[in-house]
Amino acid sequence: MSNKLKKNSPLPLRVGIAGLGTVGASLVGMLQKSGNELQRKHGRRIEVAAVSARSRSRDRGVDISQYAWHDDPVALAKSDDVDLFVELIGGEDGPALAAVRAALSAGKPVVTANKALLAKHGVDLAELAEQTGTHIGFEAAVAGGIPVIKTLREGLGAASVTRVYGIMNGTCNYILTRMGEEDISFGDCLTDAQALGYAEADPTFDVEGFDTAHKLAILASLCFQTKIAADEIFVEGITAITQADIKVAADLGYKIKLLGIAQRSGGGIEQRVHPTLVPRTSAIARVDNVLNAVSLETDHIQELMLAGPGAGGPATAASVLADILDIARGHNVPPLGIPTSELADYSRAPMRVHKGGYYIRLNVRDVPGALAAITTRVGESGISLESVIQRPDLKAPASIADQGETRTLVLITQDTTESSVRKALDQVADDGYTVGAPQLIRIESF
């Protein structure tokens, strides 16, 4: 850092903040309100020295007139008046990447909430931080206010993680919770989420699972000491979930959650994001609305679950502040848990060898022999069925309503492989007894 420490009286840690949206404004407010208390507790004063954002005049609910203003976040990151750079701009490239690189190159620690940036450039940035003897804090990048990064880097001791899974997107969890509690469609829930500020005007990144995938890639790197591999994740969102799925799942004792799951499997690491049936009695099923949860299974601890607010200004800003305080105390650990030179190359375990139970919903033509033909095909693929449920009360999607009379058929399999299920469904489709695409949801018995 640029400041030298005075004997028994550390100079203030001067913070530069780039990005003054909800999180950035909340962070400024926290430092303004609690500066004296933070100094009393942690022995060093934390001061905002300079800021950068798109608009200088926008009302953010906090007074920024006392801070130096930079139109260019890179200039802020390089400024001699700043000891620590906070990046809250967002985006995997562009100004965010340039500013973070500038700060690290100057030997300044960085704190960021940018999961997209880390998912794409995390290993390179961690290596740069090691070369310049500084640090990257990114607690706020995964699960908002939940201290899962610190737990993985420092809190598990000698324990090795065998599986990490969780609910990592509050938008999807809110939608699925509402669908489960009220008889309303995905589209109506999404509209409400947008009105409440839980979903963006373009919600694709959230509802198609990409936000969760970025977070999972970061967690998997920390858990399994491999390079970040955001492009090696099976990703499936929640847009195809219907009330039929919600109702049948409830009747069977399940809830549907969008989960990110990473585990060692088949000689590699399996990473997947998809809707999942989880038992209503499981701890993860009780995490509803906009809350997040991350569960760690280790060789020493059967399961450790961390749950709390996964987004929002105050919760995310609190995680940013926690990283700032660690740096103020001189705390410095490798950003990805171990030196980047020791990270293993990522080896992907094929999704199609994943074992587990499956929920399969089919729109079956109402003709003689259809059910027998479908169950025969499933059996020929080596799949044992736990139950076969016919639901004439559930209507077919509007997109196929004009293709003749159909019935909703749900198959619940015992443990089988993804490849066997895909093979059986291809054969069923070729036989012509079904209409439209099948709905396939994996079952996890947490």
- As given in the structure block, the two tokens for residue 148 are 């899962």
Q: How far is CA 293 from CA 133, 143, 219, 299, 358, in A?
A: 33, 7, 13, 20, 23
Instruction: Quote the pLDDT of residue 401.
Output: 56
Tens digits of residue pLDDT in 307-336: 998 777 888 899 999 999 999 988 888 999
Q: Which CATH architecture has domain 1-145+310-348?
A: 3-Layer(aba) Sandwich (3.40)
Largest CA-CA distance found in the chain, in angstroms, rounded: 88
HSE (side-chain half, CA atoms, 13 Å) at 321 = 27
Q: What is the mean pLDDT of residues 112-123?
A: 96
3-state secondary structure of 46: strand
Q: What are the φ and ψ backbone dihedral angles of 221, each rounded to 5 degrees?
A: -60, -45
CA distance linking residue 312 with residue 423, whole number of Å = 43
Q: What is the total residue count of the chain?
A: 446
CA distance linking residue 238 with residue 156, whole number of Å = 33
Could you tell me if 209 and 272 are in contact, meaning their C-beta atoms sit under 8 angstroms apart?
Answer: no
Q: What is the mean pLDDT of residues 376-395?
A: 86
Tens digits of residue pLDDT in 133-152: 999 999 999 988 889 999 99
Handedness of CA 224, 225, 226, 228 (dihedral sign): positive
Q: Which of 78, 108, 215, 257 is catalytic?
A: 215
Instruction: Quote the pLDDT of residue 446.
Output: 77
Q: How many CB atoms lie within 10 A of CB 176?
A: 23
Looking up tokens 């489960």 gives 180
Could you tell me if 307 and 291 are in contact, meaning their C-beta atoms sit under 8 angstroms apart?
Answer: yes
Bridge partners of residue 136, in order along the sequence: 110
3-state secondary structure of 356: strand
Instruction: Quote the pLDDT of residue 246.
Output: 94
- As given in the structure block, the two tokens for residue 117 are 């940036």
Give the domain ranges of the chain.
Answer: 1-145+310-348, 150-309, 352-443
CA distance linking residue 376 with residue 369, whole number of Å = 11
CA distance linking residue 293 with residue 169, whole number of Å = 9
- Model confidence, pTM: 0.90
Could you tell me which of 172, 263, 250 has the C-alpha nearest to residue 223?
A: 263
Percent of the chain with pLDDT over 90: 67
Could you tell me if 331 and 151 are in contact, meaning their C-beta atoms sit under 8 angstroms apart?
Answer: no
Instruction: Quote the pLDDT of residue 6.
Output: 40
How far the first Cα of the chain sits from its last, in Å, is 46
The kind and range of the H/E element at 298 are strand 291-298
Q: Is 33 a catalytic residue?
A: no
Name the CATH superfamily for 150-309. Dihydrodipicolinate Reductase; domain 2 (3.30.360.10)
3-state DSSP percent of the chain in helix, strand and coil, to 5: 40, 25, 35
Tell me the pLDDT of the chain averaged across its residues.
Answer: 89
Bridge partners of residue 261, in order along the sequence: 165, 272
- The model's confidence at residue 352, banded by pLDDT at 50, 70 and 90, is low
- CATH number for the domain whose boundaries are 352-443: 3.30.70.260
Could you tell me if 215 and 205 are in contact, meaning their C-beta atoms sit under 8 angstroms apart?
Answer: no
